[in-house]
Amino acid sequence: MDARTVLVLNGPNLNLLGEREPEVYGHETLADVERLCAQTAERHGLVADVRQTNHEGVLVDQVQEGRRGIVGIVLNAAGYTHTSVALRDAVSACRVPVVEVHISDIRAREPFRRHSYLTDVCAHHVIGRGVAGYAEAVTWLAEQRDAG
């Protein structure tokens, strides 16, 4: 990773996009997300490094790996949004902006999904915009880089 990198991290079950609850998450797949992020990053002269894991510790390691020297992190922590203090602490230690992304509107879902441990430590939030929210997040990071 280098100073042109946007790290896009996807948490548990996002490998099942397009299959799992399409009425909530849509029909796009993780491959579609990867393609969208790569295209959006390229339009801004950036490179998207897109990853997915079902393991909390791996996600924490990936956040720590990207915490400096890159443009920023797009993070869809999925279920760990609502449960992981460890992930929150890793995001809090970042020296680059982190954008919290959720495909569905977690504020309008089950009560346990409405609380995010990440909200107060992320620089920006894109919630309930479907897969297009990833492009919005990458664009926001590019604009922050260009403004700074």
Is 102 catalytic? The answer is yes
85-92 vs 56-65: helix crossing angle, rounded to 10 = 0
Distance between CA atoms of residues 23 and 64, nearest Å: 33
Q: How far out from the chain centre does Cα 75 lie?
A: 2
Please indicate if the annotation marks 49 as binding a ligand. no
Determine the Cα–Cα distance for residues 146 and 46; give it in Å rounded to an integer. 11
Active site residue 117: no
Q: Is 2 annotated to bind ligand?
A: no
Pick the closest to residue 11 from 88, 69, 70, 71 (CA basis): 88
Q: Is 15 annotated as a binding residue?
A: no
32 is in an annotated binding site: no
Letter for the amino acid at 39? Q
106 is in an annotated binding site: no
The residue from 25, 80, 117, 134 that is catalytic is 25
73 labeled binding residue:
no
Write down the catalytic residue from 102, 117, 125, 134.
102
Indicate which residues carry an active-site annotation.
25, 102
Binding residues: 76, 82, 89, 103-104, 113
Binding residues for substrate: 76, 82, 89, 103-104, 113
